[in-house]
Amino acid sequence: MSKRVLVISSSPRIGGNSDKLADAFAKGALEVGNDVEKINLAGKRIEFCKGCFACQTSQRCVIRDDADLIEQKMSDADVLVFATPIYYFEMSGQLKTMLDRGNPLYTKNYKFREIYFLSTAAEDDESVPKRAENGVQGWIECFPNAHFAGSVFAGGVVNKGDIIGHIALTKAFELGKSVI
């Protein structure tokens, strides 16, 4: 039985390195028969969470923007995949803002169980994505039915297209194929 996979790419550069990593994962997940949708946060209108907590009773954010629609798709997905460039050893602000806006999920009967993390950075040390991974894992801890299922990091990529030929693309593709 196929799974509904939602890939959220938070790169401000469509076709950038982390976006290409997201594409590789999506291609792998599609190859094994999953229903895959990819959303680029670039160009979306996503406001900051107001901290009003109205969503905890209504199960929907009071802000009607693109994040409201994306959160609803997150709720219906079996698998979530977050792709981000690493800035100052953390996830992009775009991804953090989207995770904050996922607050209505807390009281919903969300479907996602597996969550994957894909990241890229100019620095190539394997420790580079750890803080960002910890941030995503902290978010996941708020959802007891979900778990961190895996990650791929591509270091040493700066300019758009630097990831072409990087082993991380193969790793992301294979990780996507493991979603069954």
User: pLDDT tens across 16-68, in order?
Assistant: 999 999 999 999 999 999 999 999 999 999 999 999 999 999 999 999 999 99
pLDDT at position 156: 98
Residues 6+ apart with CB under 8 A from 129: 86, 117, 119, 121, 151, 153
**What ranges do the domains of the chain cover?**
4-177
User: pLDDT tens across 54-108, in order?
Assistant: 999 999 999 999 999 999 999 999 999 999 999 999 999 999 999 999 999 999 9
Query: Average of pLDDT values for 6-16?
Result: 96
pLDDT > 90? residue 1:
no
pLDDT at position 112: 98
Give the residue from 62, 61, 77, 136 showing the smallest Cα distance to 110. Answer: 77
C-alpha 100/C-alpha 97 separation (Å) is: 5
pLDDT at position 152: 98
pLDDT at position 35: 98
The domain over range 4-177 is classified in CATH as 3.50.50.60:
no
Cβ distance 99 to 78 under 8 Å?
Answer: no
C-alpha 141/C-alpha 172 separation (Å) is: 23
